[in-house]
Structure 1
Amino acid sequence: MKTYSEAIQYLYNSRPYGKIKFGLFRIRELLERLGNPQKSYPIIHITGTNGKGSVAAITRSIMSSHGLKTGLNISPHITTFRERIQVDGEYISEGDVCRILKNIEPALEKMDRKGEEYAPSFFEVVTAIAFQYFKEESCDVVVLEVGLGGRFDASNVIDSSLVSVVTSVGLDHTGILGDTEEKIAIEKSGIIKLECPVVSGITRPAIRRVVSEKARSMNSPYFFYKRDFDATGREYALNRNIFDYTGSNNFENLQINLNGEHQTVNAALAIKTSEIAMGEIRSGLGEEKLRMALKSVSWPGRFEVFSQDSKSVILDGAHNPDAARVLRRTVEKYFPGERLTLLFGSLDDKDYETNIKVLSEIADSVVVCRVPNHRSIHPEKVADVWRKYCSSVQFVEEHEIAMNKALEISDSLLVCGSLYLVSEIRNLLTGVSEHAGRY
């Protein structure tokens, strides 16, 4: 690929973005053709309906703070495609994206010639690029986020993991993963490897049972939030949240700048994961390094607050019912008694009606727009549902015009319903030119 723009166009058009292909045989063959770079470093593997990205970001920060060169592979991205592949918080360069993609193109061409079934998908190619980049960078450890589900996700091509993490299980992607939490838990538990420790934030007994049974069948020790480790919130303020952690170590008055009670839970999962991983790689966690890591962690688009023309703009994806409930509680925690103007959009595979019902309790007025993605639901259809719960609802097709309209209405704007919408709005607020919804 000559230019970064050409590389991105190739990935999104020639390896169709959003097209899901089941099975691990393509990614396995592709990586074998590349010399299996994923075998070059230990991996922390993270799945979950909600929270997996935050846990991945916090874990990466903890690993890096202890002097370990740490790769991070996430999806989707918020600001730029390069955000998906990081080392110690630095995004992969445009040049490295082009170079690695050019190097693996011959392997892709050979697989493509075998037929559509063997042609690697967008996510499989990006996963291969990440594995190769981490090998070239001589990473000491890699934090790997599952894209969708777990059992048949391309990231699950790995043979073992330092720790397998299942953050949470809720109803999302039900057409693909199953229509009950138990079925979804089976898919997510598919990342558990033989004799590799498991950490989970699941508290519901029936779902815990699915995870623990899978772990026992793999002779893998398992650790549950509220049973084997815990976090207790002390004080919550925007960008400054204080909590205590109890686990193999006990830490008081830890501070994290990620907002919401749920982020202290995510931090506890990351700390427990790091206790186990650092016990294998190094002598253990250092308290001051841990404190530094928690204060410095960044995770864009998750209850992230901006100031725009002296007005507050809050960004949060909240694209499934569990996430919507968490968002509602978080608004009530940081903006007690307030009802906000919402800028809302949704994709066609989301339970947007339940999301709307949940979020209506914190909505004073709503502007609905189209999500800048081919899977967006028409905003007029979404607006009709909102009108069942809110008296002030309007729809504006284009997201930038919709944002300006919403800012005219209120001093406090909450953008939610889709990470793709959050991505585009965030790029408008920050002046980033690369459109994350496309790229």
Structure 2
Amino acid sequence: MSEPRPSGVSEYENWVRRLYETNMFHPVKMGLTNIENLHSALGYPIDAIPTVVHIAGTNGKGSVAHKIAKTLELSGQKVGLFVSPHVSSFRERMQVNGHHITEEQVTQGLPLIYKICQEQDIPATFFEITTALAFWYFVNQQVDAVVLETGLGGRLDATNVVKAPSLSVITSIGLEHTKILGDTVELIALEKGGIIKPGRPVLVGPHVPHEVLRQCAKEKGALHYYTCGDVVGGSDDETDYDKENARIASAAVKLILKENPTWTISDEMIARGTSQRPSCRFEEMTLDSGVLVILDVAHNPPAMEYLIAKLKATYPDRSYRMVVGMSSDKDLNLCAQSIMQECDVSRIHLVEAAHPRAAKVEEILEKAPQLREANYDREDPSITKQVHLALDAAASAPNEIVVICGSVFLMTEAREALGIDEPRDSAYIAEMAGAGVRHGQENFGNTKI
């Protein structure tokens, strides 16, 4: 039975808003106990999926997950994809062959999961419930394969309830969430290496501490430790991050084929599938005004470096006007340094998203004082205003490309400002998602690992 709801609010809106409110009552404490109990109560749905690919990494994991899923779809498989966070709609987080879970399916699954939590006294959090919903959805859709992206880290992430993945993938390792995962690349590698399982293979990207992860794989009894070069040959010195992600995805698909010899996936299918990118990953669009816009969720210093390199390689003779908003837990000064390598401060627009983790404009200026001459409005730091100002400026400068980058939390408003028509959470949901309520893997209060 659904919860009582205000007039004019759909059952879907009511349940998803309730989901966002969950962590107000169940503060996040990282660990697998809740999800293991919930998974058991649901009948171990993820264990019933024939092929599961589990992906962790500092950068690239969402793109690699998308590329693998798209390639497997081309081979005729029914493929579930679980990613986080979403850009515009909660339903993006779980999809089958590119189709988001429907509102009706959400309102079937969430009441079932909440009922289990209540009856069995499981204090599950936003991300644990969302993960359980995805597993329930995939098994009910009778998928052939599931591609799982971790939320945070790996070892204690809710997705790590999967016991025997066909393949574990670690895309890259860098400094992120250091208060949670550790303050060195090596410590973070061990957390992400927690998705490596006994008797199962692991594939790693080029930008990882191999010595640490090889030892981790050995101690966990992994079947095999693969680099991309081991699988597809060639060199692992790619500087274009999308090509690097495609190379990792290609290697992953070839390893998956070893376990599924009846699947037919040609090299042409792999090339086509791995060339695809999820939204806001160097997503290009030309507006009616003729202005070229690129959206990219480069949200930390390594990702920002990759973005700048990609821009220079793809559009070496163009100049860039950048609309930037960041999360407060990132190294804002290093991000600013990366941006200013190729963009004059007069062409930088600072914004802040309506999300508790978003850095305020004042905080950006305090930590990156070199941006004080950038474009911003203390009274109205909205994304929409600066996007429109940037588009107007670029329209009169034909050589300029508008690049909207930084935290995923700014992308919903940015895409709306650009006139993109797509499923989007209603205001009733959004006001809870971004009104000071930190949810899922985005809430690090009271966490222990």
TM over 0.5: yes
Residue among 33, 53, 68 paired with 1:59: 68
Q: Find the counterpart in structure 2 of residue 237 from structure 1.
A: none
Q: Find the counterpart in structure 1 of residue 210 from structure 2.
A: 208
CA apart distance, 1:370: 1.3
Cα distance in 1 for partners of 2:25, 2:137 equals 21
Residue among 3, 11, 27 paired with 1:3: 11
Residue among 27, 39, 45 paired with 1:31: 39
Rate the CA distance shift 1:185–1:131 in 2: closer, same or farther, 3 A: same
Q: Which moved more, 1:276-285 or 1:25-34?
A: 276-285
- What TM-score, normalized by structure 2, do the two folds share? 0.85
**Partner SS for 1:201:** strand
Choose between structure 1 and 2 for higher RCO, CA contacts under 8 A separated by at least 6 residues.
2
Asked if residue 368 in structure 1 is aligned to residue 350 in structure 2, the reply is yes
Cα distance in 1 for partners of 2:365, 2:156 equals 36
Q: Find the counterpart in structure 2 of residue 416 from structure 1.
A: 405
Aligned sequence identity (%): 31
CA apart distance, 1:419: 1.1
- What TM-score, normalized by structure 1, do the two folds share? 0.86
Q: Find the counterpart in structure 2 of residue 393 from structure 1.
A: 375
Q: Give 2:408's aligned amino acid.
A: L
Q: Find the counterpart in structure 1 of residue 53 from structure 2.
A: 44
Asked if residue 122 in structure 1 is aligned to residue 111 in structure 2, the reply is no
Q: Find the counterpart in structure 1 of residue 398 from structure 2.
A: none
For this pair of structures, how many residues does the alignment match? 406
Structure with a larger share of its residues in strand = 1
Cα distance in 1 for partners of 2:235, 2:225 equals 21
**Partner SS for 2:348:** strand
Q: CA RMSD in A?
A: 2.4
Asked if residue 12 in structure 1 is aligned to residue 20 in structure 2, the reply is yes
Cα distance in 2 for partners of 1:382, 1:406 equals 19
Residue among 305, 310, 317 paired with 1:330: 310
Instruction: Please list every run of 5 or more consecutive structure 1 residues that lacks an aligned counterpart in the other structure.
Output: 234-242, 244-259
Instruction: Please list every run of 5 or more consecutive structure 2 residues that lacks an aligned counterpart in the other structure.
Output: 3-9, 396-400, 435-449
**Partner SS for 1:377:** coil
Cα distance in 2 for partners of 1:289, 1:229 equals 15
Asked if residue 427 in structure 1 is aligned to residue 435 in structure 2, the reply is no
Cα distance in 1 for partners of 2:415, 2:140 equals 31
Residue among 216, 219, 239 paired with 1:217: 219
Q: Find the counterpart in structure 2 of residue 353 from structure 1.
A: 333
Q: Does the aligned pair in 1 maintain the 2:228–2:251 contact within 8 Å?
A: no
Cα distance in 2 for partners of 1:228, 1:158 equals 24
Cα distance in 2 for partners of 1:426, 1:358 equals 24
Q: Find the counterpart in structure 2 of residue 254 from structure 1.
A: none
Q: Give 2:41's aligned amino acid.
A: R
Q: Does the aligned pair in 2 maintain the 1:192–1:218 contact within 8 Å?
A: yes
Cα distance in 1 for partners of 2:26, 2:124 equals 13
Written as runs of structure 1 = structure 2, the 5 A alignment for 1:172-211 is 172-203=176-207, 207-211=209-213
Q: Does the aligned pair in 2 maintain the 1:301–1:426 contact within 8 Å?
A: no
Q: Give 1:379's aligned amino acid.
A: V
Q: Give 1:311's aligned amino acid.
A: V
Cα distance in 1 for partners of 2:371, 2:356 equals 27
Q: Does the aligned pair in 2 maintain the 1:11–1:17 contact within 8 Å?
A: no
Q: Give 2:100's aligned amino acid.
A: Y
Q: Does the aligned pair in 2 maintain the 1:200–1:224 contact within 8 Å?
A: yes
Q: Find the counterpart in structure 1 of residue 137 from structure 2.
A: 133
Q: Which moved more, 1:403-412 or 1:66-75?
A: 403-412
Rate the CA distance shift 1:292–1:354 in 2: closer, same or farther, 3 A: closer
**Partner SS for 1:375:** coil
CA apart distance, 1:384: 4.8
Cα distance in 2 for partners of 1:230, 1:8 equals 45
Q: Find the counterpart in structure 1 of residue 442 from structure 2.
A: none
Rate the CA distance shift 1:129–1:97 in 2: closer, same or farther, 3 A: same
